[in-house]
Amino acid sequence: MPFICENVECRAVLARGQVRSSHEDEGWYFYCPDCKTRNELKDIGVPGGPVELVQPERSDLPHKIIATARPLEDGRYAAQLRVQRALGTKGTYAVEEHWEQLGVFPDAQEAIAHAKSMAIDLLERKA
C-alpha cells in the first residue's frame, strides 16, 4: 500500500521508499516530498516487534469545507460556503463550488453552523 498525501490540493501517491518516516513524541509522521504537508502515521506492529506503519483510517476523503459568515450592513450575517471535493487520485479534486448567501442570521455563529450543515447534506447527497 502506498501512502497518499492528505493535502487535498496535492493527494500525491507515494511509494513507501519515497517518504522518510520519522518519529517524535506525538508519534510517527512523514512530510510529503511534493507539498511538505505533514501526514500522520500509526504504528500497528506488535509491541517490541518491528515497526509497521500505516496511515490512520479516515472515515472519508479530506474534503475542504470553508464555512463563513459575512457581516451585512444591517448587523446580521449571511452564511457562505465553499466546498472542494477531494477525489481519490493525484492532482484531481473537484472544482470549488461556492454559495455566497445561504440565508441571513442574527449572529455569526448561527450563520456558520447553518453553512456547515449545508455542507454535510451536500457531501452526503453526492457521495
| Positions in the binding site for Zn ion (CB under 5 A) | 5, 7, 10, 12, 32, 34-35, 37
Cβ proximity to Zn ion: between 5 and 69 the closer is: 5
Residue for cell digits 513524541?
25
Cβ proximity to Zn ion: between 77 and 93 the closer is: 93
Cβ proximity to Zn ion: between 21 and 37 the closer is: 37
**Taking the complex as a whole, how short is the minimal distance between the CB of residue 96 and Zn ion, in angstroms?**
18
- Provide φ and ψ at 23, rounded to 5°: -125, 135
**Taking the complex as a whole, how short is the minimal distance between the CB of residue 15 and Zn ion, in angstroms?**
14
Amino acid at 24: E
**Taking the complex as a whole, how short is the minimal distance between the CB of residue 39 and Zn ion, in angstroms?**
8
Coil, strand or helix at 46: coil
**Residue 8's Cα: distance from chain center in Å?**
6
Name which of 99, 90, 89, 93 is nearest 119 in CA terms: 99
Q: What is the DSSP letter of 58?
A: -
Q: What gap in Å lies between CA 101 and CA 98, rounded to an integer?
A: 9
**Taking the complex as a whole, how short is the minimal distance between the CB of residue 5 and Zn ion, in angstroms?**
3
Cβ proximity to Zn ion: between 7 and 80 the closer is: 7
